[in-house]
């Protein structure tokens, strides 16, 4: 790391053969895995937290096939003293062969993949105390084949919140556990659906509060923000309407406002919004149609708005949250393809059964003649969390598609339902 003096200071010396590093932002305590075991480096001293007892026992790595927003297996407490970590027992899961073709001769590598209807791995959550060296496990109980997702610490290091999902993935319980002894404290609330429940974001605590937190939920059909309280207070809905929240940016330093990105009703554009946590007043920051991605300073006073649409490669604006109309251009990108004969991008919509309007993109040859027939290339990549068509530079089309348009093809993409 660099101090303000410009001098380089080594805060940790880690082995070369490690993976899954997770460094606390203030203490620089670092967790990492060696093989299937878990280690930490605290004040430059290496300590083994957990050693894999047998093949199929894994510590400190992502679990549940990276579903439910899971992308790592360790979680430092706010102070950096405690480390929560996953322990996964996948010894009961059937090995699945993966053929590695980039070696001579080809080799077979096995992964443990839980097929639908077969045994799945068992996951628990441990808490390591970096001061005492002791570990406790949260008493998450039965059934063993459940999903422990979206781990969050309370700001005072005392409790851990877990979104527990059943194997059928149609019921979720947000549960509170005592990080000191592992005891179950209470269920804060439940969500259920006759189809699918998918929590993907941990609780975000309001600055200065050990009680209030923001939770994301699709309970009304769209992903929205809700302000909860550990005491069980009725939640307040912070975002509303047919515009789902895409990204949660955080809070102002005083905890009075939260900032987030939403998709508009068309699904093509992204806008930055703020909500006053006390009054519930919702404000939109910026009006230009296109994709707005925001970087907001810690105080919640200034916004760097990274903007793009089909006609704009990239502009970066700077403005105050209280007056987004008074903005100045920090950066304006020139067209990087100026002088090249690329395809003509068209965004369009198509109706589907049930009245749902689907977004599509068509890239036409540079010299397109509407009186002629052209071969068509239909590119398909679809499903939940996959969106290919947006109002961003080139309509989010890739350059190889423009190459095909140069060769005389019409390239067509359709976003399906759920995208």
Provide the CATH number for the domain around residue 193.
2.140.10.30
Does 219 map to a domain? no
The secondary element (H helix, E strand) that includes residue 399 is: helix 399-406
* 117 within some domain: yes
Residue 3 has pLDDT above 60, yes or no: no
How many Å apart are CA 263 and CA 198, to the nearest integer?
Answer: 19
Q: Last residue of a domain, which of 182, 202, 222?
A: 202
pLDDT at 189 over 80: yes
Res. 335: pLDDT tops 80: yes
- Sign of the alpha-carbon dihedral angle for 217, 218, 224, 227: negative
Confidence of residue 6 (pLDDT cuts 50, 70, 90): confident
Please write the tens of the pLDDT for every residue from 29-68.
999 999 999 999 998 899 999 999 999 999 999 999 999 9
> Which pLDDT band, with edges at 50, 70 and 90, does 388 fall under?
very high
- Report the candidate in 168, 231, 244 with the shortest Cα–Cα distance to residue 201: 244
- Burial call 295-333: b when 16+ CB within 10 Å, e when fewer: ebeeebeebebbbbbbebbebbbebebeebeebeeeeee
* 193 Cβ contact list (under 8 Å, min separation 6): 170, 171
Among 378, 383, 411, 377, residue whose Cα is nearest residue 397: 411
* Domain count of the fold of the chain: 2
Q: Tell me how far apart the alpha carbons of residues 302 and 296 are, in angstroms, rounded to a whole number.
A: 6
- Residue 198 included in any domain: yes
Tokens linked to 8: 């380089």
* Span 311-321, average pLDDT: 95
Instruction: Give the mean pLDDT of 305-311.
Output: 96
Query: Among 202, 230, 263, which residue terminates a domain?
Result: 202
Is residue 106 in some structural domain? yes
Quick one: pLDDT band at residue 298, thresholds 50, 70, 90?
Answer: confident
On whether residue 253 sits in a domain, the answer given is no
Q: How many CB atoms lie within 10 A of CB 12?
A: 16
Domain assignment present for residue 68? The answer is yes
Q: For residues 401 and 411, is the Cβ–Cβ distance under 8 A?
A: yes
6: left (phi over 0), alpha (psi -120 to 50) or beta: left
pLDDT for the residue 2:
53
Which of 243, 276, 271 lies closest to 258 in space, CA to CA? 276
Mean pLDDT of 210-214: 98
256 falls within a domain: no
Q: How confident is the model at residue 16 (pLDDT cuts 50, 70, 90)?
A: confident
How does the average pLDDT of the chain come out, rounded? 95
Quick: pLDDT tens for 86-140: 999 999 999 999 999 988 899 999 999 998 889 999 999 999 999 999 999 999 9
> Residue 401: helix, strand or coil by DSSP?
helix
Contacts 24+ apart (CB under 8 A), 260-268: 260/225, 261/292, 261/293, 261/294, 266/359, 267/359, 267/387, 267/390, 267/415, 267/419, 268/347, 268/359, 268/389, 268/390, 268/391
The b-or-e profile of 249-280 (16+ CB within 10 A means b, else e) is bbbbeebbbbbbbbbbeebbbbbbbbbebeee
Rounded Cα distance between 295 and 306, Å, is 8
Within-domain flag for 3: no
Domain that holds residue 401: 344-414
* Chosen domain end from 171, 202, 233: 202
């Amino acid at each position: 790391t660099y101090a303000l003096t410009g001098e380089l200071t080594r805060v940790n010396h880690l082995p070369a053969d490690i993976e899954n590093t997770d460094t606390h932002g203030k203490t620089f305590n670092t967790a990492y895995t060696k093989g299937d075991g878990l280690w930490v480096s605290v004040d430059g001293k290496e300590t083994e937290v957990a050693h894999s007892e047998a093949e199929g026992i894994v510590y400190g790595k992502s679990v549940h096939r990276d579903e439910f927003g899971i992308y790592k297996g360790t979680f430092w407490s706010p102070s950096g003293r405690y480390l929560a970590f996953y322990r996964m027992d996948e010894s009961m899961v059937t090995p699945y062969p993966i053929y590695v073709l980039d070696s001579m001769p080809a080799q077979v590598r096995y992964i443990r993949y839980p097929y639908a209807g077969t045994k799945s791995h068992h996951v628990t959550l441990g808490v390591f105390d970096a001061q005492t060296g002791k570990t406790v496990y949260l008493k998450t109980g039965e059934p063993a084949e459940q999903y422990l997702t979206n781990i969050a610490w309370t700001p005072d290091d005392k409790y851990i919140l877990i979104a527990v999902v059943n194997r059928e993935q149609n019921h979720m319980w947000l549960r509170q556990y005592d990080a000191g002894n592992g005891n179950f404290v209470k269920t804060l609330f439940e969500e259920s659906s006759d189809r699918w429940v998918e929590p993907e974001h941990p609780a975000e605590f309001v600055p200065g509060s050990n009680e209030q937190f923001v939770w994301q939920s699709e309970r009304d059909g769209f992903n929205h923000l809700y302000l909860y309280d550990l005491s069980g207070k009725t939640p307040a809905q912070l975002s509303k309407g047919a515009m789902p929240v895409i990204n949660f940016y955080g809070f102002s330093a005083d905890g009075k406002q939260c900032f987030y990105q939403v998709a508009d009703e068309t699904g093509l554009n992204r806008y930055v919004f703020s909500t006053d946590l006390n009054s519930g007043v919702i404000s939109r920051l910026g009006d230009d149609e296109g994709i707005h991605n925001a970087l907001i300073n810690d105080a919640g006073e200034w916004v760097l708005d990274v903007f793009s649409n089909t006609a704009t490669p990239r502009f970066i604006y700077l403005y105050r949250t209280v007056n987004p109309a008074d903005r100045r251009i920090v950066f304006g990108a020139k067209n990087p393809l100026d002088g090249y004969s690329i395809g003509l991008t068209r965004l369009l919509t198509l109706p589907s059964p049930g009245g749902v309007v689907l977004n599509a993109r068509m890239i036409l040859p540079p010299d397109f003649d509407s009186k002629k027939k052209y071969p068509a290339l239909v590119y398909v990549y679809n499903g939940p969390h996959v969106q290919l068509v947006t109002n961003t530079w080139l309509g989010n089309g890739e350059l190889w598609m423009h190459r095909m348009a140069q060769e005389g093809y019409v390239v067509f993409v359709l976003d399906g339902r759920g995208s």
